[in-house]
Homo-oligomer: A and B are copies of this chain.
Amino acid sequence: MARVHNFGAGPAALPLPVLEKAQAELLDFNGNGMSIMEMSHRSKGFDAIIKTAEANIRKLMNISDDYAVLFLQGGASHQFAMIPQNLLLPGKTADYAHTGEWAKKAIGEAKVVGKVNTVWNGEADKFARMPNPDEYKLTPGAAYLHICTNETIGGVRMKAFPKSSAPLLADMSSEFMSRVVNVNDFAMIYGGAQKNLGPSGLALVIMRRDLANACPETVSKFMRYQTHIEGESLYNTPNTWAIYIIKLVTDWLLGLGGIAAMEKLNEEKAAILYSALDSSSFWKPVAVKDYRSTMNITWRMGSEALEEKFTKEATAAGMIGLKGHRSVGGLRASIYNACPRESVKALVSFMNDFEKKNG
């Protein structure tokens, strides 16, 4: 069977050359006579993998040594809990922008720990837009400001990021390494790997080292960033397979010319799809134009019955993962880094045919 066009929101498409290399090496990694899955996380072989993965990430994102690069488990949901435990100190307030479902989850975990101020709220707009940098009503002396820069469900992303005297923390799960960002503008950037970086089961955390120092004694050792910084991601056995795949994905990204080149390609892919959506009232794009995501593209159609017909026929035509998130319905195409331009073109061609038959 040929490969499908995969528009799933995550776990999502991986680059074909990465999969082919992982397949070729699965039984015998680099002449070691065993699978990468069978290698000790403290072996020389694995050390080279994790070090290369980290070096690739530092190179791609231009990360200075003031920042630690951590490969943790648990994905972004785990980070939602770790962040306030480490950084929302007693008596302080944490600022959160409420931009959608993922921000909501992050806010929920912060409220377990301490006081939260929602400094922007997109609920009234049904999360169809994002805050502009000047719209945040920041708390003076806040412990930190937390943002989610791209919301997969609404299909919106921040064009620009806020400035804040408090440390700026960003969940970039669904747009990690899809656009050039200046890491020095952030105290922490993190995200689950399963959208743009690799398989599920891993969170990539880029964190200014000094941020980890003030964690209260009441926090478990496992939940402290300091533990994992000191252990260089090997305090406990990490997800070695995911780190290996991330190494391959970042090799691939570097080979394509890095994030600037990828961003250009992502903008081209998104433009192809948005211009189809804008071409006729048959399609009803959800996100407000200025805040449209280049990763998750959302739209509605005239009726739910038509939407269902669309996803059914698309699936039959080898295009999968187009159903919108169960909380909002509609359609969604996730076109992450690994989604090839050909898949986007195939989708647009299918859409044109579908409109002719049903419009």
Contacts and interface: CB of A to CB of B under 8 A. Distances in A.
A235 B81 CA distance: 14
B201 A238 contact: yes
A11 B26 contact: no
Contacts of A236: 74-78
A25 B73 CA distance: 25
Contact of A199 (B13, B37, B43): B37
Given A19-B27, A109-B220, A236-B78, A14 B38 contact: yes
Given A11-B240, A73-B201, A221-B81, A34 B22 contact: no
A318 interface: yes
A8 interface: yes
Contacts of A222: 74, 77-78, 80-81, 109
Contact of A112 (B12, B14, B22, B218): B218
A4 B33 contact: yes
Interface in A62-85: 73-78, 80-81, 84-85
A291 to B, nearest CB: 25
A38 B26 contact: no
A1 interface: yes
Given A239-B200, A242-B241, A28 B41 contact: no
A32 B4 contact: yes
Contact of A1 (B6, B33, B84, B201): B33
Contacts of A318: 33
A336 to B, nearest CB: 11
Contact of A33 (B2, B31, B200): B2
Given A34-B6, A109-B220, A200-B240, A19 B26 contact: yes
A147 interface: no
A35 B338 CA distance: 13
Interface in A44-102: 73-78, 80-81, 84-85
A36 to B, nearest CB: 9
A357 interface: no
Given A8-B43, A26-B26, 16 more contacts: A1-B31, A1-B32, A4-B33, A6-B34, A11-B40, A19-B35, A74-B78, A75-B237, A78-B222, A80-B220, A80-B222, A199-B240, A201-B239, A223-B223, A239-B239, A239-B242
Interface of A: 1-4, 6, 8-14, 19-20, 22-23, 26-28, 31-35, 37-41, 43, 73-78, 80-81, 84-85, 108-109, 112-113, 192, 194, 198-202, 217-223, 235-242, 245, 318, 320-321
14 contacts: A1-B28, A3-B27, A11-B38, A14-B35, A33-B318, A37-B199, A74-B222, A75-B236, A75-B237, A77-B236, A77-B237, A80-B220, A85-B220, A112-B220
